[in-house]
Structure 1
């Protein structure tokens, strides 16, 4: 694990490595969630995008996965639009999504729905393609795995992302909302209270985590 967030003004003292610091034996990159905006132009975010681009182009066997901030940043890397939600409204706590056939294959389920906890007010609003980036080759398919707003992307043998958090439980949901209320990030207290009430609901975080691991092992090669 490498802490990359380098925002001294917020007391974050991480380090975005150069590509030479990443061993050639590295076969997968996972970018987790964080409080920063993936559409922002903080110096460390721009350095991270440069690093990811270099990895994507020079190490074609490396697999990429991202959750929340990571989902948005990897989408941005490939030219997708990542921006605040209308009115800055937060998507909080329990969210049910409808899986399409690609999603059902990735999550190895016959059910049509998947639920995850959310904690963001930014979103990916377009799907990457060869018209948005030169990092994708002609014929390379970019799949959205849910038939709802862009909650996750999948590219065979290359990319698997999720906007929702696989590791959040009721206590984490409650505390994360509470922290954002205290620092003024969430101003709609009624919306926050309603979201807290859903923290106990069953979610599929284990299902998502269990899908990312096979992707890293190359078990999803036949899904496209």
Structure 2
């Protein structure tokens, strides 16, 4: 199965030598499931010819806002509609979660409650999940027909499902503790409040459920693409 990764941002320069770029993080996250990958750096204007260029699709995170005026945002929203129309499975993570919601009629804004960084607890179908987050923007109004499948008191629309073919998550299962530590050190100071960075640093040794969510994403793809 060929997974098309739509890369909407780049990892910080200081973190790439050790961790790779965002596309690399997702390939590492989904390793062992028999997938092949092709990456389109849409943030740099590189787009696939259409939904048929891959069996399933994944939209990465980004430091950009879905509501910002970038030339690659409108064609990405058009591609989201085309993928939805094709019936191919689509997963969105963080910015991917947000841009899919915006493209399909929801609203994305800077959340008045501020930032979520580091390990956060969510409820998925009544089960607790610990996942890393790094965001200020949120889906504040979900699109009509979208189902909330993950939530917590800070982020009401933490995971959404659209029909049977689209699944999106605000948190970052591709961010391990070492990557979060790098973000704290290289991207957080002066941007994220100090007390939140301190809390995130303190939670670095704690376990998370990244692999559980990775396995669910892999299962989501496999259940919707004929072998």
TM-score normalised according to structure 1 size = 0.75
Q: Is 1:85–2:111 an aligned residue pair?
A: yes
Q: Is residue 2:159 matched to residue 1:128?
A: no
Match of 2:191 in 1: 185
Aligned to 1:138: none
* 1:49-64 pair list within 5 angstroms: 49-57=77-85, 59=86, 61-64=87-90
Aligned to 1:166: 173
Alpha-carbon distance in structure 2 between the residues aligned to 1:81 and 1:143: 15
Aligned equivalent of 2:183: 176
Q: Deviations over 1:154-202 (max 9, x none)?
A: 13421111111112222111111222234x432x222211211112211
Correspondence 1:14 to 2:39: no
User: Please, which moves more after superposition, 191-200 or 203-212?
Assistant: 191-200
Q: Contact 1:67–1:165 at 8 Å: present in 2 too?
A: yes
The root-mean-square deviation of aligned C-alpha atoms, in Å, is: 2.6
Which of 99, 102, 105 is the matching residue for 1:73?
99
| Contact 1:72-1:123 within 8 A present in 2 as well | yes
Distance (Å, rounded) in 2 between the aligned partners of 1:165 and 1:83: 18
Shift of 1:47: 2.1
Structure 1 alignment gaps of length 5 or more: 102-111, 130-140
Structure 2: 5+ residue stretches without partners: 11-40
* Compared CA separation, residues 143 and 3, structure 1 to 2 (3 A): closer
Match of 2:130 in 1: 115
Which of structures 1 and 2 has the bigger CA Rg?
1
Which residue of the partner structure matches residue 66 of structure 2?
Answer: 38
Residue 16 to residue 47, structure 1, CA distance change in 2 (3 Å) = farther
The structure that is strand-richer by fraction is 2
| Alpha-carbon distance between aligned partners in 1 of 2:143 and 2:59, rounded to the nearest angstrom | 18
Report the CA distance shift for 1:65/1:23 in structure 2 as closer, same or farther (over 3 A): closer
Which residue in the other structure is 2:13 paired with?
Answer: none
Number of residue-to-residue matches in the alignment: 189
Name the SS of the counterpart of 2:167 in structure 1: strand
Find the counterpart in structure 2 of residue 133 from structure 1: none
Partner of 2:121: helix, strand, or coil? Answer: strand
Cα-to-partner distance string for 1:108-142 (whole Å, 9 max, x where unaligned): xxxx211100001100112211xxxxxxxxxxx53
